Amino acid sequence: MRLIRPILPALAALALGCAARSADGPYASVTAAAVWQDNVTNATAGDGVLGAFSLGSTGDLTWLTAVDFSTMLSTGLAADVDLCPNFSGLDSLMVGPRVGLRHKFGLGPYAPVAFLGLEADGHAFRDAARSNADGALVAEVSQRLNEAVQVVVDARLCTYAANHAVYSGSYTHLGAKLNWDLNETWRVSATGGWRDGDVVAEYAAARTPFGWGPIDTGAYHYTGDAELVQTFSEPFIAYRTKAPTWSGGAAVSPAIGRHTSLALQYTRMRTTAYDTYVDNVYSLSIVHHF
């Protein structure tokens, strides 16, 4: 935690300092989303699988500064609020700065574009043990194949430190997205991803002569940190381990205005640790650019 927290004010000062120079902006966007997860606890069937509905809103401000003819410096701030009616301990507030460089390799709409950036966020949860600070190195390459089809590949290296060690860790993520514009109104997308690093699985707990323990004895094979949590409607034990997660999904996004679009998205995530668990995520969001 001591290594990550100083990143927040330093990166915020850099972002605001760059924005105060001769930058264009701010450019703003706001997203509101309703999300359903059918396995928010990352448990296996019969061991405490709980679904949860959440409402969220994300906003960001971005300033752009030309470095040269093909390179743009972007700085900004992002904020996010999530409310979970099912489990109020998952209510959260996030805020953090961003800074990055975007470079276009050539002229015209079909030239590839690369982005490299830094992000830092502070997350405050109602369940204080989950509150954390994180820092991430992000990269992205996008290529338009023709007027209708675009391919985007992204990567992220992230480390985060929470108030309780069970919710701390690091991970690597690689993802790909295919966007297909059917016409000026409709866009369909397909996504795929791989994540490897620390994950938390939360199992329903029962009191034993030796204290609280998971109802699934296989959970004892987790070798990382563990904590008894009261986030849910009954006692759960949270375990941290390292495991890969594969994901895939699809989205439909119609434009409903000049600067506004809807997005209906489905993502399926499968994580294989000692146990294997699946989380299906459904979301409906609206995005407006000012």
1 domain residue, yes or no: no
The pLDDT value recorded for residue 159 is 97
Gap between the Cα atoms of 70 and 78, Å rounded: 25
At residue 276, the 3 state secondary structure works out as: strand
- Maximum CA extent, the chain: 71
Please tell me the least confidently modeled range out of 127-131, 133-137, 199-203, 263-267. 199-203
What value does the mean pLDDT take over residues 236-257? 94
The pLDDT value recorded for residue 2 is 47
What value does the mean pLDDT take over residues 177-195? 97
The pLDDT value recorded for residue 176 is 98
Gap between the Cα atoms of 282 and 265, Å rounded: 6
12 domain residue, yes or no: yes
Q: What CATH number is attached to the domain comprising 56?
A: 2.40.160.40
What value does the mean pLDDT take over residues 56-64? 96
The pLDDT value recorded for residue 58 is 97
DSSP assignment letter at 220: G
What value does the mean pLDDT take over residues 216-223? 54
What value does the mean pLDDT take over residues 244-257? 96
Residues recorded for the chain: 290
Query: Which pair of tokens denotes residue 195?
Result: 């994540």
The pLDDT value recorded for residue 18 is 54
The CB-side HSE value for 47 (13 A sphere, CA atoms) comes to 21
Gap between the Cα atoms of 187 and 252, Å rounded: 6
What value does the mean pLDDT take over residues 82-100? 97
2 domain residue, yes or no: no
Give the bridge partners for 138, in sequence order.
Answer: 117, 156
Residue 57 pLDDT exceeds 80: yes
Q: How confident is the model at residue 211 (pLDDT cuts 50, 70, 90)?
A: low
The pLDDT value recorded for residue 287 is 96
Query: Which pair of tokens denotes residue 25?
Result: 């902006």
At residue 42, the 3 state secondary structure works out as: coil
The pLDDT value recorded for residue 156 is 98
Give the bridge partners for 228, in sequence order.
Answer: 237
The residue behind tokens 């509150």 is 131
Residue range(s) defining the domain that contains residue 113: 7-289
* 233 or 148, which is more confident: 148
88 domain residue, yes or no: yes
Number of domains comprising the chain: 1
Residue 267 pLDDT exceeds 60: yes
Closest CA to 242 of 267, 213, 274, 216: 274
Gap between the Cα atoms of 284 and 252, Å rounded: 10
Query: Which pair of tokens denotes residue 186?
Result: 């409709």
pLDDT tens digits, 149-170: 999 999 999 999 999 999 999 9
Gap between the Cα atoms of 31 and 261, Å rounded: 10
Contact 147, 172 (CB under 8 A): no
